[in-house]
Amino acid sequence: MFDAQGNLKDWWTPEDAKAFEERVQCVRDQYAEFTIVDEIKINSKLTSGEDVADIGGTLLAYIAWKDATETENLQPIDGFTPDQRFFIGMAQWACENQRPENLRANAITNPHSPGRYRINGVLQDLPQFAKAFGCGEKKPMVRPKACKVW
């Protein structure tokens, strides 16, 4: 929504905006399947901005980490490869335990998905995660058609 000078301006071509919206819709459809508590699903129209940001941020962090460590001789530690440790570390920031009442309230007010899906939803869309853990195509953490926004 902002141009190179930081001004709020619609600078996208109509074609780019349409392609972006289609990619975001993939994320909305994915997150709308996730159950928060009881029968309450994520309101992905509310959360999609943050969900897309989580996916993009994680991908950028992974690319930056790979670039920053490309000359290092990283070795497995405690049975985990460097790539596996990256994703384990990423997942730890969202450790949480919320009461069902809070989950219900957040389902209609919070633009962020619950922590569980800020991790699992993101990682289901990253082939780098599947490769790091050797996940086959039919595993729960691998979507048949991963969403790719960026």
Q: Which CATH number covers residue 113?
A: 3.40.390.10
Question: Residues 36, 42: contact at Cβ < 8 Å?
Answer: yes
3-state helix, strand, coil in the chain (%, to 5): 55, 5, 40
- Asked if residue 149 is part of any domain, the answer here is no
Tokens of 16: 């780019």
- pLDDT value at 89 more than 80: yes
Across the range 63-88, mean pLDDT stands at: 97
Is position 54 within any domain? yes
Q: What is the pLDDT of residue 12?
A: 87
Number of structural domains the chain divides into: 1
Instruction: Determine the structural domain holding residue 83 and report its residue range.
Output: 14-133
pTM summary value: 0.89
Among residues 47, 67, 114, 58, the alpha carbon closest in space to that of 87 is found at: 58
